[in-house]
Amino acid sequence: MNTERRTFLGAAAAAATARMPILGANDRVQVGIVGLGGRGRNHIELYNAIENCRIAAVCDVNQAARERAIAMIEKAKGYKPAEFADMRQMFESKEIDAVSLPLPNHWHALATIWACQAGKDVYVEKPASHNMFESRKMVEAARKYKRMVQVGSQSRSTEHKIQAIRMLKEGVIGKVYMARGLCFRRRFSIGHTPDQPVPPGIDWDKFLGPAQMKPFSVNKFEYNWHWFWDTGNGDIGNQGVHEMDIALWGLGRKDWPKSVMGGGGKFLWQDDQETPNTQHAAFHWDDGEMTFDVRNLPTPPEALAPIRGANYVGNIFFGEKGFMVLDQAGFAVYRSTMADFVGARSAGAGGRDRYEKTAEGKATGEGTSAHMKNFLEAVKSRDHTKLTAEIEIAARSADFCHLANIAYRVGRTLRLDADGRFIGDAQANEMQTRKYRPPYVVPEKV
């Protein structure tokens, strides 16, 4: 670690310890946003609409993105926020209470840790981490520096999903023994883009950060970084992490599975993408199971879920008395006509299940605004247990995506111990972390 890095970390840790703001009920939270691409612009719109916060600063490695963001805020609110090209300088600012991090996946952990060390509360987009080692370090940093860290798993603040999970826990389909996560998100080939000189105004070194240095190309930048292992986690860690989180939530699982298996591939497309466009994973416990399917190719929905254009993402929960379908539009409960018939035979007409819809709920709106308000309320109250997708919860959901990806990449069934380590598989355990590029290193000691 170089002297400059040690100096920054030492100063940041001291600042975090000394600065423990307790905001008044009428005080506005001063927010800095790091990462000003498509999701970053969503963050700007959402925070601008929340009364008790003010976007005080913006940061991005792309000068053009900073200029667009400043123009958005000035047009909507009538002032110019402070501008930063380096997130560490923003984190050092005494004018910032909290930071929002709609960054590429490979930056989530280090940016969160740096912000915690500098005494800032954090809203970081999903998936919480790029790998399992980072998940542990993010939780440690949040606890050590007493920071509020909310992850953008907004399903946890979405009313119809809260209601559906509550009903599962109350036994609407009896004991739940299995959950299915479905990520049928129609996408198209990204093609090939050549390596080229870094365009003016982009700091490519800072964009890559913890990832290894490689030449710039259009496909490695902007949205398509999702489909490269160095910077993304494929669609299971992009869209799929939402459904993974809901599956674990509905099952009530806080423990590691006994085993995980994964398969799939990249079919039909001939392009630069590294991650699969078709993926399946299965997680096994002694008393239950969870499966997950990702498909970016034409795919119909399953169970009794309605067809909604080219995409279907959602969850199916199976219990002893029926099943529940839960997605972005609402939920429906189907109860077996045999649910209360003791001694029903599995063979013959008399033992066949038929299903009747017994309950349903419709979505009343998207949950991100409520999720951000939940974060800002915790910033004021200083109670991390009030966060609906606190880092410890969301990191576990991200880790199940990482487990699926590791099983897919090594091509074999993996067994886990009670601490989430692979049993007797050094290669798989090495994939729980990554080779970091100094000085962008997620530290062992946060």
Q: What is the pLDDT of residues 105-134, one digit of tens each?
A: 999 999 999 999 999 999 999 999 999 999
Average pLDDT over residues 130-147: 98
Count of CB atoms within 10 A of residue 94's CB? 9
Average pLDDT, the chain: 92
Phi, psi of 367 (to 5 degrees): -95, 5
Q: Please check whether residues 29 and 13 belong to one and the same domain.
A: yes
User: What's the CATH number where 375 sits?
Assistant: 3.40.50.720
Q: In terms of C-beta density within 10 A (0-12 exposed, 13-18 middle, 19 or more buried), how is residue 435 classed?
A: exposed
pLDDT higher than threshold 50 for residue 10: no
Could you tell me what percent of the chain has a pLDDT over 70? 91
pLDDT at 11: 42
Distance of CA 177 to the CA centre of its chain: 25
Other C-beta atoms closer than 10 Å to the C-beta of 76 total 13
373, 294: one domain = no
What is the rounded CA–CA span in Å between residue 147 and residue 119? 7
Sign, CA dihedral 206-211-217-223, equals negative
Do 208 and 127 sit in the same domain of this protein? no
Structurally, the chain folds into a number of domains equal to 2
Same domain membership, residue 210 and residue 79: no
Same domain, 191 and 70: no
pLDDT digits (tens, 9 = 90+) for 241-277: 999 999 999 999 999 999 999 999 999 999 999 999 9
pLDDT-derived band at 303, boundaries 50, 70, 90: confident
How far is 405 from 422, CA to CA, in rounded Å? 14
Task: Encode burial over 232-244: b for 16+ CB neighbours within 10 A, e otherwise.
Answer: bbbbbbbbbbbbb
134 and 17 housed in the same domain:
yes
Position 347 confidence tier, pLDDT thresholds 50, 70, 90: very low
Write down the pLDDT at residue 3: 39
Average of per-residue pLDDT across 87-94: 98
Measured CA to CA, the distance from residue 381 to residue 369 in angstroms comes to: 18
Q: Is 437 inside a domain boundary?
A: no
Return d(Cα 21, Cα 83) in angstroms, integer: 23
- Rounded to 5 degrees, what angle do the CA atoms 428, 432, 436 make? 120
| This prediction's pTM | 0.92
Torsion over CA: 85, 88, 90, 92 (sign): negative
- For residue 215, being part of any structural domain is answered with yes
Alpha-carbon radius of gyration of the chain: 23
351 φψ region: left (φ > 0), alpha (ψ -120 to 50), beta (else)? alpha
In a domain, 434, yes or no: no
Residues 126 and 203 in one domain: no
Task: Determine the pLDDT at residue 53.
Answer: 97
Sheet containing 82-84: give its strands across. Answer: 82-84, 53-59, 29-34, 98-101, 121-124, 149-151
Torsion of CA 206, 402, 229, 182, to 10 degrees: -110
Same domain, 117 and 168: no
Q: What is residue 305's predicted lDDT score, i.e. its pLDDT?
A: 78
Bridge partners, 295 (sequence order): 184, 278
- 347 inside domain: yes
Indicate whether 13 pLDDT > 70. Answer: no
Provide mean pLDDT across the span 77-89: 98
pLDDT of residue 263: 97
Domain membership flag for residue 290: yes
Calculate mean pLDDT across residues 165-175.
98
Judge whether 442 lies within some domain.
no
In a domain, 433, yes or no: no
438: in domain: no
* CATH code assigned at 349: 3.30.360.10
In this structure, the strands spanning 259-265 and 278-285 are antiparallel
109/166 same-domain check: no
The reported pLDDT for the residue numbered 343 is 44
Do 419 and 300 fall into the same domain?
yes
* Judgement on whether residues 22 and 118 belong to the same structural domain of the protein: yes
Instruction: Specify whether 20 is located in the same domain as 73.
Output: yes
Which residue segment(s) compose the domain that 123 sits in? 3-156+369-391
- The pLDDT-based confidence of 335 (bands split at 50, 70, 90) is very high
